[in-house]
Amino acid sequence: MGISGALAFQAVPNVFVGAELRYLRSYSGLGLDRFEGQALFLEPTFHAKLSDNLSISAAFSTQIAGRSDEASGRQLDLDNFSGHQAKLTIFYEF
């Protein structure tokens, strides 16, 4: 389960930069039986429209806070979530 919010602005024509903040929680089982951990990610984002048919988006998120039910002494929940995530998307419309 999670919730996120993002803000972006147009830096130059057809180029947008922004940031997203995501809060995620991990549970075991389909019925959310037992809480396993939580994590907070900060993610800079980038989107550019290269032509009428081609666009590209990129994001790189870093876990900035978290807590695992298994190892409560650590600052991050690396048991249930990764420390970093990268995403590159290329859009082609035809």
**pTM exceeds 0.75 for this model:** yes
Higher pLDDT, 29 or 46: 46
Instruction: For 54-76, write each residue's pLDDT tens digit.
Output: 999 999 999 999 988 877 677 88
Q: Cβ distance 63 to 41 under 8 Å?
A: yes
Domain boundaries, the chain: 2-92
pLDDT of 75: 83
pLDDT of 1: 83
